[in-house]
Copies of this chain bind each other. A is one copy, B any other.
Amino acid sequence: MEQAHPDGHLAHLRGLLSAYMAKKGLRSTEQRRVIVERFFESPAHITIEELLAVVRSADPRVGYATVYRTLKLLAECGVAVERRFGDGVTRYEVANDDHHHDHLICVECGTISEFEEPAIEALQEEVARRHGFAVKSHKHELYGTCAACQARAKRR
């Protein structure tokens, strides 16, 4: 939607991944390639189960442990970001270093949307400074009801 270089971005991530694999002596296999490509095409906040379904539609023989292992690998090398919201499942999104964001989670319909607020990030750094704390990452999630669910509730 507001992607400046859609292909350049994925190309960069592919580079990251192969550099990491080369450094670690890891191998490029058919299932890793399928999983990674499908992941790149997936909407944000996909679960392992959802991704497995998509991957199996391309190759039914892929085991679910392989999807877990591959996404862990992608997370390790910075190609994927792991997210855990309140519902017990881990979700993944394609990394985008210069465009990190936080989340609004609708407790009615489960829709997850994103927001960015530089002023919050700045204040958060300020808080950390007061505590002598060096922030590596953060999680900021707002749980509540989205506009659509509020409208639906009002309508009845």
Q: Which residues of A contact B (CB under 8 A)?
A: 84, 86, 104, 106-107, 113, 115, 117, 119-120, 123-124, 127-128, 130-147, 150
Inter-chain contacts of A128 with B (CB < 8 A): 104, 142, 144
A-B contact pairs, 20 of them (CB 8 A): A104-B127, A104-B133, A107-B136, A115-B130, A117-B123, A119-B123, A120-B120, A120-B127, A124-B142, A131-B146, A131-B147, A132-B146, A133-B144, A134-B144, A134-B150, A135-B142, A135-B143, A136-B143, A136-B145, A139-B141
When chains A and B are docked, how far (Å) is the Cα of A73 from the Cα of B137?
Answer: 32
Q: A136-B144, A144-B136, A146-B132 are in contact. Are A123 and B123 (CB under 8 A)?
A: yes
Inter-chain contacts of A106 with B (CB < 8 A): 133
When chains A and B are docked, how far (Å) is the Cα of A29 from the Cα of B140?
Answer: 39
Q: A123-B123, A137-B144 are in contact. Are A132 and B115 (CB under 8 A)?
A: no
